[in-house]
Amino acid sequence: MSYSDITLHKYKAKKRKRKPFSKRRNSPKEKTRLRFITNFSSISLDSSNIIAFVVIALVVFFMAMSYSGVKLHSQEMETFRLSSVERENKIAFTFLMKSGKERLERFLIKDAYSEFKLAYKLFPEDEELKKYLFETLSILCKKENAYCLELDQLQL
């Protein structure tokens, strides 16, 4: 048996079993004691403290300004998005009106009605659209009675 085996055996023999999560008694050592006790009355206002305060104040000011700039930019982007949606709706409306008129000229009445109905969902106030929708529904009502209810609802 070597010296290292003896010390290992001695270490294991001294080690006591303890309950899990139990606290160990340790006396506070010099290294773990609080070394610095702050005395607030001894704080002096020298130039480095004033400079640090000014820098922090400027950083807070610029962060507040950039936040308002970000908020303003987000509002501008929202109005741009709404205007682009409106522009796309107008483009789709003109396309649907043109397509509906072409189908009406070729006597594809049901197809023209579907185009005018989609355009009506985009802009229900358009007078020209209402005129074309009334015309197609009156033709379809003569052929099939199922469209007469929609014609009555359009007239209201």
Q: Which amino acid is at 10?
A: K
Q: Which residue has the tokens 């003109």?
A: 94
Contacts of 151 (CB under 8 A, 6+ apart): 134, 137, 138, 141
User: pTM score > 0.85 for this model?
Assistant: no
Confidence (pLDDT) at 7:
59
> What do you get for the CA distance between the two ends of the chain, in Å?
109
Q: For residue 130, what are its two tokens?
A: 């209402």
Confidence (pLDDT) at 33:
46
Pairwise CA distance, residues 105 & 110, whole Å: 12
Q: What is the DSSP letter of 25?
A: P
Pairwise CA distance, residues 133 & 115, whole Å: 9
| Structural domains of the chain, with CATH | 47-155 (1.25.40)
In the predicted model, residues of the chain with pLDDT beneath 70 are 1-18, 22-45, 155-156
